[in-house]
Amino acid sequence: MPIKAKELPDVSIRRLRHTVSASGKPTKAKHPVGGVSGLYLQCNPPVGSEKIGARQWILRVRIGTQRREFGLGGYPVIPTQKAREAAKALKEEIKSGIDPKLARASAKAQILEEQRKELTFKAAAAKYVTKRSAEYKTAKQSQRLRNQLDNYVIPYIGNMQVKDIERHHLISMMQKYYEAVPDTAIRVINHVAKIIQQAIIEGQRTTHNPAIWANNLSIVFPSKEKIAPTQHHPDLPWQQLPEFMIALDDYNKPKGLRPDVDCLAFIIHTVARVSEARLMKWSDVDLENKVWTIKPSSVKGDDMRKSKREWKIPLTTPAIKILKSQPSYAKQRGLVFKTLDKKEIDGSYFGSNINSELGFEGDTHGFRTTFKTWCQEHGVNDEASELSLKHTSSDATRAAYARSQLFDDRKRLMVAYSKYATTGQSLPTNNVIPIRKRAS
């Protein structure tokens, strides 16, 4: 059996210090203090201006086949009597089959796990915004997301732990504004669902996602169509189109000052969607054959739609003139329309701003309605006008037309429309589109 150390009184313990090696180097020393076998006071050499080095209580004990050391705190902050009591308690744990070191590690891991789950929605939302910002193409999109979360979510559940958010919290939140801004409310709750889902994936929430809109929260609220019918984009009356085109051309002087204006004029001459035109690439343009190809793989844009088929768009003389006036025409690489600093034109440019600045009503998206109304007023074949807008139908006859896309008829139609837009002159109906007989 090991020799039991003599129990030192506190006055003797206060005098314990480090030792010095044979070479004269100060070295830490472990002094047995007795009272509990294996209890030592470790004395370190002084550092810097210290007169006495740091001293700590150490319990050395065998657990199974291994010898372990446990720190019990510093001396004299932990007095001798407290150190002996702590040493006795540890030995009792060991006798009962508990390894204190493993128990401490397990407790620490549990604490860390609980702290990891202590994630507020505000913090989770910040991570989500950072991630989405890296995916967005413009700073305005990121700022819009931040504003929506700051205005419609953070004031209500921002300080809650993500793991504690339940369906009733979200219902209470949405009730504050759903009927006033249903579209925004749905868009925002979908972001909330993604934020919570990310927390679930990362193990910071173990229960279901309460923010799912479809067949969940949507059941609680009235359909948005019931309280806020779809608002169509305001359109420019077709009779004002020639006058608008003159004002638009004047607005872009000196020529090239406003690339978005050129893009808008191109949109009018091709009745394209905003995203299709502002994201078009030179690789999709065949100037020799006067055709612009919109591929099924084109990315979704401002209208949040994606074509499932390839479309051949006839290019009229005014449309080609616009393309050739672009700075990018010299190399014919990448995007056709770019900002003055050679970046992609943001979709937000194409609101009602230009129209209102020129003294006209409507917005860019509404020019497609302007075209459709002009076609109706001039007796244009409905299939040709619908396909010019890239609209298809499940109707068997129109579906057959959609497969051929009536390219020649659409080409004649767009030539006539471009001529009207630039001169105000309309061609006779039979020179625009031949009247087709519908299949019986």
pLDDT tens for residues 269-303? 999 998 899 999 999 999 999 999 998 754 454 44
Q: Which residues pair with 382 in a beta bridge?
A: none
Cα angle 208, 213, 219 (rounded to 5 degrees) comes to 105
Domain boundary among 75, 105, 135: 105
Please count the structural domains in the chain: 3
Ranked by mean pLDDT, the top range of 103-107, 142-146, 168-172 is 168-172
Q: Is 335 a residue whose pLDDT tops 70?
A: yes
The verdict on 385 and 262 lying in the same domain is yes
Classify burial at 250, counting beta carbons within 10 Å of its beta carbon; exposed 0-12, middle 13-18, buried 19 or more: exposed
The verdict on 312 and 412 lying in the same domain is yes
What pLDDT, in 10s, does the model give residues 312-327? 999 999 999 999 999 9
- Of the given ranges (46-60, 181-195, 425-439), which has the lowest mean pLDDT? 425-439
Which residues have CB under 8 Å from 194's CB, separation 6+? 128
Contact 193, 124 (CB under 8 A): no
Which residues have CB under 8 Å from 261's CB, separation 6+? 248, 251, 252, 354
The verdict on 424 and 340 lying in the same domain is yes
What's the pLDDT at 439?
Answer: 41
State the pairing for strand pair 29-32/291-294. unpaired
What's the pLDDT at 248?
Answer: 85
Write down the residue that tokens 């044979």 correspond to.
22
d(C-alpha 16, C-alpha 24), whole Å: 18
The verdict on 299 and 371 lying in the same domain is yes
Query: Does residue 217 fall inside a structural domain?
Result: yes
Taking the CA atoms of 394, 396, 398 and 399 in sequence, report the sign of the dihedral they define: positive
The verdict on 326 and 262 lying in the same domain is yes
d(C-alpha 396, C-alpha 407), whole Å: 19
Domain boundary among 59, 77, 105: 105
d(C-alpha 242, C-alpha 247), whole Å: 9
The verdict on 301 and 424 lying in the same domain is yes
Q: Is 186 a residue whose pLDDT tops 60?
A: yes
d(C-alpha 350, C-alpha 233), whole Å: 12
Contact 298, 306 (CB under 8 A): yes
Classify burial at 23, counting beta carbons within 10 Å of its beta carbon; exposed 0-12, middle 13-18, buried 19 or more: exposed
Query: Does residue 1 fall inside a structural domain?
Result: no
220 to 8, 241, 268: CA distances (angstroms): 75, 45, 42
The verdict on 293 and 421 lying in the same domain is yes
Structure tokens given for 138: 């413009």
- Of the given ranges (35-44, 135-144, 423-432), which has the lowest mean pLDDT? 423-432
The verdict on 294 and 420 lying in the same domain is yes
Torsion of CA 166, 171, 173, 174, to 10 degrees: 140
**Residue 70: which of 59, 80, 62 has the closest Cα?**
59
The verdict on 136 and 197 lying in the same domain is yes
SS3 10: helix
What's the pLDDT at 87?
Answer: 92
The verdict on 245 and 374 lying in the same domain is yes
Taking the CA atoms of 295, 297, 299 and 301 in sequence, report the sign of the dihedral they define: positive
Q: Is 118 a residue whose pLDDT tops 80?
A: no
Write down the residue that tokens 């701003």 correspond to.
353
Domain boundary among 78, 105, 132: 105
Query: Does residue 111 fall inside a structural domain?
Result: no
End-to-end CA separation in angstroms for the chain: 111
Q: How many CB atoms lie within 10 A of CB 205?
A: 22
Ranked by mean pLDDT, the top range of 3-17, 219-233, 406-420 is 406-420
Residue type, 399: A
Write down the residue that tokens 């659409």 correspond to.
410
d(C-alpha 358, C-alpha 356), whole Å: 5
CATH number, domain of 49, equals 3.30.160.390
Classify burial at 68, counting beta carbons within 10 Å of its beta carbon; exposed 0-12, middle 13-18, buried 19 or more: middle
Length of the chain: 440
The verdict on 278 and 258 lying in the same domain is yes
CATH number, domain of 347, equals 1.10.443.10
Query: Does residue 440 fall inside a structural domain?
Result: no
Helix count (H) and strand count (E) of the chain?
Answer: 19, 9
- Residue 436 confidence class, pLDDT cut points 50, 70, 90: very low
Query: Does residue 4 fall inside a structural domain?
Result: no
Query: Does residue 233 fall inside a structural domain?
Result: no
Phi, psi at 56, each rounded to 5° = -130, 150
Query: Does residue 114 fall inside a structural domain?
Result: no
Task: Identify the domain containing residue 348 by its residue range.
Answer: 238-432
Q: Which residue stretches of 280-366 are H helix?
A: 317-324, 353-357
CATH number, domain of 130, equals 1.10.150.130
Contact 429, 410 (CB under 8 A): no
The verdict on 22 and 151 lying in the same domain is no
Structure tokens given for 125: 């939302």
Query: Does residue 250 fall inside a structural domain?
Result: yes
What's the pLDDT at 440?
Answer: 37
**Residue 375: which of 414, 318, 341, 403 has the closest Cα?**
414
